[in-house]
Structure 1
C-alpha cells in the first residue's frame, strides 16, 4: 500500500450490513429477516441471500411498512453513522 492511500474504501458491501448502516432497518437481524422473506430486489432481481454484494450505483427495492421503497446507493458507508451521514449515501427514487 502506498503512502496516503485510503484503506476504508471498499468496492462492495453485504446487503444486510448496508441496510443497517443506512439506517433503513434497526438491526442487522431485522435486515436479515426482511431479506429472508424474499421481497427485496437488487437491480430488479430478487435477493436470495443476505450476503449479496451491493456496489455504488445499485438500486434496491425494499418493502418497508405498507409500501415498497426504491433507493439508489450513491456511496458505500464505512460505518453506521448519524442519520444525516447515512442519508447522504443514498437517494430515494
Structure 2
C-alpha cells in the first residue's frame, strides 16, 4: 500500500495552505506553517510566479496531501467521479470524503488522517460490526463506524475522541460519545465539506 511518508509540515508550507496533517500539533504554537508561512528552502521575501499549469497542479497536490493519496489512486477517483452523474469536481470531493480513514478522522476517532489510517490498517476499526482494514474503503449512507474493544477500553482514547469530535464536527456524521461510534448519516455535498482546494482546477488539469 503506497502512501506518502515524508515530512507533513513541509507539504503544507510548500503548498501554501494549512492542511492539519499533524493533528493536535496544528492547533498549537508549534505548528510549522504558522511559524514559517513560506515555502521550505525559500526566504520569506522570495517571490514565485507560477504558470497556469502550475496553479492547476498545485490544487491537485493540495487534494492529494489533504486525503493522503498518491497519483494512481487519485486518478482512479477522478475517473469514477467523471462517470457519475452531476459535476465531476463535486463528485470527486464526495468520493474522497467517503474514504474510511477520512470518516474515522472526521468523526474524531483520530486527530489526523495519518493516525486514522493507522487505526484502520491495524485492525481497530469496525464497519457495521465487521473489521475493515482498508483505508480506501468507501463508506455508504447508514454505515456505523466503531472501534475494537481494546481501543474502546482505553480512557485516553475516549478522552481524545470526545475532544476531537467537538473540534471536527461534520453535519453528515452523527457521533455517539457514549458508545464510541459514528454513523455516516448522509452523503455530504461540496458546500458541506468546503475543501481547501479548487476541485474545478483539478478537472481542468486532467481535461488538458
Return the TM-score normalized by structure 2: 0.31
Could you say which structure has the higher helix fraction?
2
Aligned to 1:31: 116
Structure 2 spans left out of the alignment, 5+ residues: 1-85, 159-178, 196-208
CA 1:32–1:56: 2 relative to 1, 3 Å = same
Deviations 1:44-86 (A, max 9, x none): 11112111110121011123571672222112445378xxxxx
Q: Residues 23, 80 of structure 1: CA spacing in aligned structure 2 closer, same or farther, 3 A cutoff?
A: farther
Task: Using the TM superposition, give the Cα deviation of residue 25 of structure 1 relative to its aligned residue in structure 2, in angstroms.
Answer: 1.6
Q: CA deviation at 1:20?
A: 2.1
Question: In the alignment, what sits opposite 1:17?
Answer: 102
What's the TM-score, normalizing by structure 1? 0.61
* Aligned residues between the structures: 77
Max radius of gyration: which structure?
2
Runs of 4+ in 1 over 3 A off after TM superposition: 5-12
Offset at residue 13 of structure 1 (A): 1.0
Between 1 and 2, higher relative CO (CA 8 Å, sep ≥ 6) is seen in: 1
Higher strand content, 1 or 2: 1
The answer to whether structure 1 residue 8 and structure 2 residue 90 are counterparts is: yes
Change (3 A) 1:51 1:19: same
Query: CA 1:80 to 1:33, structure 2 compared with 1: closer, same or farther past 3 Å?
Result: farther
Relative to 1, partners in 2 of residues 1:72 and 1:48: Cα closer, same or farther, differing over 3 Å?
same
Q: The residue matched to 1:53 in structure 2 has which SS?
A: coil
Confirm or deny that 1:75 pairs with 2:186.
Answer: yes
Deviating more after overlay: 15-24 vs 52-61: 15-24
Contact 1:23/1:80 (8 A) holds in 2: no
